[in-house]
């Protein structure tokens, strides 16, 4: 659990490039034998018992050791390789990916290339993924930007995929609030994908982190987006889909969040909007919770309701009895109701309502003048 030495780092870089992620068996090999022996086994094509399948998985690339070049390229652009051995490895959020039931389809990353100076553990310790359609509407852009900005202002890391549309809007919102944001890429750390987001990714790396499990030079490809999505879900306490069509990458990230047992939220929109169809489906199917504001998103990520980052001011209605709540709820925002009307609306017996109103009046929450009860 200390920074690896030069030789070890080279071994990590070699292994991080030698098989297409995710490769759960390779991770297991390193965990069992250590990175140096694992790298030697792969390079010399001599696998321990039970790891024979790795010969196939590493066959294409085992001969071309790009580790030194990758680490050099990485240093040029201010990036570094964070390995499973290091203190800054986000082992806790990634744990479910290593576990048996998901390893077959996913599996944890062997190492992560990170651009930016912040701590990976710190950035992912309190993160919420904000994802959605690349073809976002102005509504989606607005909502993602607002969520990004408000979550960042509440000390949450806004995690996303750096893509056009919702992803970009969420990152920008966090940057505008001078908060934390991290982009997880489906390509090498030295690639700006999409090209139009080169400046945005540079800004994210300056103020936050850009992260990928792909070695420098790796191009973005369809299967890599799906693989990347599992990291977005795993590195976040909750995932929120802002806009998603019927079939979308965001739905894949959402599925990962569910698979990993992480809360999933979806933002509703007009039912006339094709880019909200996916969100509505997730909500209607009971897969996602409807979230209509930043507070609801945070509540999702903190299901036990305690404010880890900030204490909310006590509400005046704290400490009321259930009956008093029902009576308060029964009163309209404007105007008043007669006692019998409060009885009807609240559905409580008359003596209960009378007692509740008396208590509420003493507490200064309602006024009862001239036979009409109204909110104070």
Q: Do residues 57 and 24 make contact, with C-beta atoms less than 8 angstroms apart?
A: no
Using CB under 8 A as the binding rule, whether residue 319 contacts a copy of itself is answered as: no
Q: Looking at the DSSP assignment, which residues form a beta bridge with residue 157?
A: 127
Provide, rounded to whole angstroms, the least separation between the CB of residue 117 and a copy of itself.
33
Provide, rounded to whole angstroms, the least separation between the CB of residue 298 and a copy of itself.
14
| Residue of the chain from 217, 268, 359, 368 that contacts a copy of itself (CB under 8 A) | 268
Q: Which residues 49-108 are close enough to bind a copy of itself by CB under 8 A?
A: 104-105
| Residue of the chain from 296, 328, 355, 363 that contacts a copy of itself (CB under 8 A) | 296
Provide, rounded to whole angstroms, the least separation between the CB of residue 293 and a copy of itself.
7
Using CB under 8 A as the binding rule, whether residue 226 contacts a copy of itself is answered as: yes
Q: Which residues 119-158 are close enough to bind a copy of itself by CB under 8 A?
A: 139, 142-143
Please count the residues of this chain forming the interface with a copy of itself, following the rule CB under 8 A. Answer: 40
| Residue of the chain from 227, 236, 253, 324 that contacts a copy of itself (CB under 8 A) | 227
Q: Which one, 162 or 269, has the nearer CB to a copy of itself?
A: 269
Instruction: Report the interface residues with a copy of itself, using CB under 8 A.
Output: 104-105, 139, 142-143, 222-223, 226-227, 246-247, 252, 267-272, 276-277, 280-281, 283-284, 289-293, 296, 332-333, 335, 337-338, 341, 344-345, 347, 349
């Amino acid at each position: 659990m200390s920074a690896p030495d030069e030789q070890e780092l080279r071994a990590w870089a070699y292994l991080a490039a030698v098989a297409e992620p995710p490769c759960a068996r390779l991770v297991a090999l390193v965990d069992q034998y250590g990175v140096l022996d694992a790298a030697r086994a792969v390079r010399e094509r001599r696998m321990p018992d039970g790891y024979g399948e790795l010969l196939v998985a590493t066959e294409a690339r085992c001969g071309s050791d790009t580790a030194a070049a990758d680490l050099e390229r990485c240093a040029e652009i201010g990036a570094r390789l964070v390995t499973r051995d290091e203190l800054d490895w986000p082992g806790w959020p990634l744990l479910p990916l290593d576990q048996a039931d998901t390893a077959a389809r996913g599996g944890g990353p062997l190492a992560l290339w990170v651009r930016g100076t912040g701590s990976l553990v710190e950035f992912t310790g309190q993160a919420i993924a904000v994802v959605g359609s690349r073809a976002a509407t102005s509504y989606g852009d607005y909502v993602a930007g607002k969520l990004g900005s408000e979550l960042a202002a509440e000390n949450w890391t806004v995690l996303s995929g750096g893509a056009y549309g919702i992803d970009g809007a969420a990152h920008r919102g966090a940057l505008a609030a001078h908060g934390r944001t991290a982009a997880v890429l489906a390509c090498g750390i030295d690639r700006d994908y999409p090209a139009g987001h080169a400046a945005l990714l540079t800004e994210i790396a300056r103020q936050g982190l850009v992260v990928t499990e792909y070695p420098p030079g790796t191009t973005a490809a369809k299967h890599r987006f799906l693989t990347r999505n599992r990291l977005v879900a795993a590195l976040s306490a909750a995932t929120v889909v802002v806009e998603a069509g019927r079939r979308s990458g965001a739905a894949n990230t959402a599925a990962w969040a569910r698979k990993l047992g992480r809360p999933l939220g979806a933002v509703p929109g007009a039912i006339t909007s094709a880019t909200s169809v996916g969100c509505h489906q997730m909500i209607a199917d009971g897969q996602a919770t409807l979230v209509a504001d930043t507070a609801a998103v945070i509540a999702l990520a903190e299901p036990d309701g305690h404010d880890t980052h900030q204490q909310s001011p006590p509400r005046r209605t704290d400490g009321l009895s259930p009956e008093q709540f029902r009576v308060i709820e029964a009163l309209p925002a404007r105007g008043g109701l007669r006692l019998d009307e409060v009885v009807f609306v609240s559905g409580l017996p008359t003596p209960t309502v009378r007692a509740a109103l008396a208590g509420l009046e003493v507490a200064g929450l309602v006024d009862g003048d001239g036979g009409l009860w109204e909110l104070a």
